[in-house]
Amino acid sequence: MLGEILSVQPAELKFPFELRKQVSTSLRLVNVTSEYVAFKVKTTSPKKYCVRPNTGLVPPQSSAEVVVTMQAQKEMPADLQCKDKFLVQSVLVPGGAPKETTQDFFNKENGREIHEVKLRVIYVAPPQPPSPVAESAEEGVISPSPFPTSTKGLTPADPSAKDVVELKAKLTEAKSALAQATDDRNNAVREVQRLKSTLSGQGQGKQGGGGFSFVTLLVVALIFFLVGFLGAKGLLPLPGGSSPAGAAGEL
């Protein structure tokens, strides 16, 4: 906003509002004349704001900076609305620079023309810290990826119902194959045990029949035959220790 003798920038005082924190903003006063200009800054809430400097002189074709500090607030205003206002008064000071700015410069009774610029206060939300991705994009720096970026030969995953059904079918098939393999193994174990029992029984039968083989029976029969034959001929002694010839002599 341009005044007639003093340009006040910006046209509004904006404060990033934060609870329990002082916030400052600045005004730039530009003297657009070839004379000294005295200024004075007023506000509707003097206890709420601190203005440094609140009065001063601006040399011809020069500028001055005024810092406005809002004291820490304990309550958040509804919808960040603010009714506070500022008033910047300015007056020409001809005849060179005075030693100090006095209240007389702004006394309308002295016939001086006082220029006024009104400013309103606006509260804004505090700026959010930029994200790392945003900072990288602003700086134009792209971080290299440690993994290959090629997607050739890769098929994107599609978690559709068809895939789920196929996976369930494969799982059921695998379970059936595992159960069949378990049954086959158990049957093989039982068959081996049966064969072992059969072979063991056959071995015992062979051992039991080995003592009464044909040759053995033949030898035993031959011995009994010889004993009977010799006994019949009197060639073998009879039980009791006497022979058949001795028995006949006794008669």
Q: What CATH number is attached to the domain comprising 54?
A: 2.60.40.10
- At residue 126, the pLDDT reads 81
Contact (Cβ atoms closer than 8 angstroms) between residue 27 and residue 43: no
Task: Give tens-digit pLDDT for 123-164.
Answer: 998 877 776 665 555 555 555 555 555 555 555 555 567 788
Q: Is the pLDDT of residue 213 over 90?
A: no
Report how many domains make up the chain. Answer: 2
81 and 166 fall within a common domain: no
User: Which amino acid is it at 68?
Assistant: V
Average pLDDT over residues 215-229: 69
Whether residue 188 sits in one domain with residue 79:
no
pLDDT at 38 over 90: yes
Domain membership of residue 153 (yes or no) is no
State whether 17 and 84 are in the same domain: yes
Q: What is the pLDDT of residue 239?
A: 54
What would the mean pLDDT of 45-69 be, rounded to a whole number? 96
* Lowest mean pLDDT across 136-145, 152-161, 184-193, 237-246: 237-246
Chain-centre distance for alpha carbon 88: 56
For 167, the domain range is 161-233
> Given this model, what pLDDT does residue 12 score?
96
Identify the DSSP state of 238.
Answer: P
Q: Do 31 and 94 fall within a single domain?
A: yes
* Residue 129 counted as domain residue: no
The more confident residue out of 89 and 205 is: 89
Residues 117 and 169 in one domain: no
Is the residue at 64 inside a domain?
A: yes
Residues 93 and 198 in one domain: no
Residue 206 has pLDDT above 60, yes or no: no
Residues 43 and 111 in one domain: yes
Task: Report pLDDT digits (tens) over 74-118.
Answer: 999 988 899 999 999 999 998 877 777 677 788 877 788 999 999
* Cα separation, 82 vs 79, whole angstroms: 9
| Pair 101, 176 in one domain | no
CA distance 192 to 199: 11
Average pLDDT, the chain: 79
Q: Is residue 143 part of a domain?
A: no
Q: Token pair 């006497």 is at which residue?
A: 242
165 and 108 belong to one structural domain: no
Of the residues 75, 96, 124, the one at which a domain ends = 124
Q: Is the pLDDT of residue 243 over 60?
A: no
DSSP-assigned letters across all residues of 52-105: ESSEEEE-TT-EEEEEEEEPPBSSPPGGG----EEEEEEEEE-SS--SS--GGG
Mean pLDDT for the stretch of residues 207-223: 62
Q: How many residues can be counted in the chain?
A: 251
**Is the alpha carbon torsion for 151, 155, 159, 160 positive or negative?**
positive
How many of the other CB atoms lie within 10 Å of CB of 112?
A: 15
Answer whether residue 156 is part of any domain: no
Res. 247: pLDDT tops 50: no
Residues 6+ positions from 189 with CB-CB distance below 8 Å? none
- For 1, 9, 82, 126, the CA distances from 26, given in Å and listed in that order, are 15, 9, 18, 17
Whether residues 20 and 65 fall in one domain: yes
- Do 77 and 167 lie in one domain? The reply is no
The pLDDT assigned to 116 comes to: 94
